């Protein structure tokens, strides 16, 4: 079995992302076999081992995108309307977005709903090796009220419809269930935040998930819908654009996770790809979202980070988390260590730890000093397989015995 030793000036090791200077990660059979220093490796190694030296780069865990949709591409105009398009079109979109995600350093993605069970099909094909992309965790059909928000979801009404769809999702072996609790965006005028599911409907989905030990995750921007979600036992709250202090405390008290996707409001470069009414809302609420999410980030609430289908731009969301008050190490944990914890896959990936899957990226610089180096990821390894290498490390190999 071939052993591969990756050496670099800096390695972010374990669940603390503790820097290891002049380190070495030994990869074998798709897994991280050992993490040591370069010096110890060259002193002790007896087996034939291919060495790739990454010079001044940092080696760190592959990124985990925490809010993705494979069939939607927020880099394109009319991407929201395109959800109503034909299945074949969405499938073609997925092939491209999955490839682009992986090349941008995303080795695992949490997918929050797609039409036609496209995410389930993609997850299965990626597992088989017939499709290129990150490992996927999928929700299948996102469930919303028939009168509610959710471009990627489908409408339901009454506990039995939600139960039926939950079971249909579970029969496809989804990794978790997804509900749309609230409006998509903050109201144009300050005030009531609409919500579209009753406590009983949310409870039904949560209970169906629990029977198979699966989490329920929610699109939720705040308001009464958030309170009902907590009461019903929802595990993860995505977006939280207009969360208030009382709701932050409620989530903390119940040890919930939130997923930040603030770029949709904070990043002006996303505006050309959104409908005019949505852009108007973005302008009106940009400061509000910044203020609310900043409070959540600095409160100690457990957070992870996703783009909501803005493929290849996860680094921007990490930078926004820092702008909103997160320490760089916590922002990076939001797309690695903590992302894996939230998704309950920290026994498989999310850290550079012996025994875990060899999902490894190299970055030029140190992301704990400046997260902007995540913008260009020159080397990506997924499950021990090199899928991208622009570092020339392969050309600097030194065979040792
Ligand atoms: Zn979404």
Burial class (CB in 10 A: 0-12, 13-18, 19+), 129: exposed
For residue 399, pLDDT beyond 50: no
The tens digit of pLDDT for each residue in 280-335 reads: 999 999 999 999 999 999 999 999 999 999 999 999 999 999 999 999 999 999 99
Which stretches of 154-222 are assigned E, i.e. beta strand? Answer: 154-156, 176-180, 215-220
The tens digit of pLDDT for each residue in 158-169 reads: 999 999 999 999
Question: Domains of the chain, with CATH numbers?
Answer: 3-62+351-400 (2.30.40.10), 63-342 (3.20.20.140)
**Alpha carbon of 328 to ligand 1 centroid (Å):** 24
Dist. CA 180–CA 238, nearest whole Å: 10
**Alpha carbon of 183 to ligand 1 centroid (Å):** 12
The tens digit of pLDDT for each residue in 4-25 reads: 999 999 999 999 999 999 999 9
**Alpha carbon of 68 to ligand 1 centroid (Å):** 6
Which range has the worst mean pLDDT, 77-81, 266-270, 328-332, 334-338? 77-81
Q: 150 pLDDT band (50/70/90 cuts)?
A: confident
**Alpha carbon of 347 to ligand 1 centroid (Å):** 26
92's CB contacts (< 8 A; 6+ apart) are none
**Alpha carbon of 308 to ligand 1 centroid (Å):** 5
The tens digit of pLDDT for each residue in 209-259 reads: 999 999 999 999 999 999 999 999 999 999 999 999 999 999 999 999 999
**Alpha carbon of 18 to ligand 1 centroid (Å):** 32
Once rounded to an integer, what is the mean pLDDT over residues 376-385?
97
Total-model pTM: 0.97
């Amino acid at each position: 079995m071939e052993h591969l030793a990756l050496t670099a000036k800096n390695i972010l090791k374990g669940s603390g992302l503790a820097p290891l200077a002049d380190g070495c990660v030994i990869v074998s059979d798709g897994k991280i076999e050992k993490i040591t220093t370069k010096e110890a490796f060259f002193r002790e190694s007896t087996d034939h081992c291919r060495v790739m030296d990454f010079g001044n780069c940092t080696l760190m865990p592959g990124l985990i995108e925490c809010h993705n949709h494979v069939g939607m591409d927020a880099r394109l105009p009319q991407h929201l309307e395109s959800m109503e398009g034909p299945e074949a079109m969405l499938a073609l979109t997925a092939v491209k977005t999955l490839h682009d995600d992986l090349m941008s350093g995303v080795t695992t993605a949490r997918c929050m709903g797609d039409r036609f069970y496209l995410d389930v099909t993609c997850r299965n094909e990626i597992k088989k090796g017939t499709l290129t992309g990150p490992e996927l965790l999928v929700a299948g059909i996102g469930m919303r009220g028939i009168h509610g928000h959710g471009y990627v979801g489908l409408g339901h009404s009454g506990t039995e419809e939600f139960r039926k769809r939950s079971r249909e999702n579970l029969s496809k072996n989804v990794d978790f269930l997804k509900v749309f609790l609230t409006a998509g965006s903050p109201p144009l005028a300050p005030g009531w935040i609409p919500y579209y599911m009753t406590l009983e409907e949310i409870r039904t989905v949560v209970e169906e998930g629990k029977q198979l030990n699966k989490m329920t995750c929610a699109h939720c921007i705040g308001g009464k819908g958030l309170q009902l979600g907590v009461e019903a036992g929802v595990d993860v709250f995505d977006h939280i654009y207009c969360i208030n202090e009382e709701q932050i405390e409620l989530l903390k008290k119940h040890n919930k996770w939130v997923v930040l996707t603030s770029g949709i409001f904070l990043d002006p470069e996303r505006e050309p790809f959104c409908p005019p009414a949505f852009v108007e809302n973005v302008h009106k609420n940009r400061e509000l979202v910044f203020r609310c999410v900043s409070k959540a980030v600095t409160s100690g609430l457990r957070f992870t980070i996703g783009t909501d289908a803005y493929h290849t731009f996860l680094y921007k969301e990490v930078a926004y988390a820092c702008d909103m008050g997160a320490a760089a190490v916590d922002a990076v944990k939001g797309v690695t260590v903590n992302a894996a914890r939230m998704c309950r896959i920290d026994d498989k990936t999310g850290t550079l730890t012996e025994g875990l899957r060899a999902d490894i990226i190299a970055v030029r610089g140190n992301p704990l000093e400046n997260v902007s180096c995540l913008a260009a990821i020159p080397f990506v390894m997924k499950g021990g397989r090199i899928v991208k290498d622009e570092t020339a490390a392969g050309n600097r190999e030194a065979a040792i015995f």
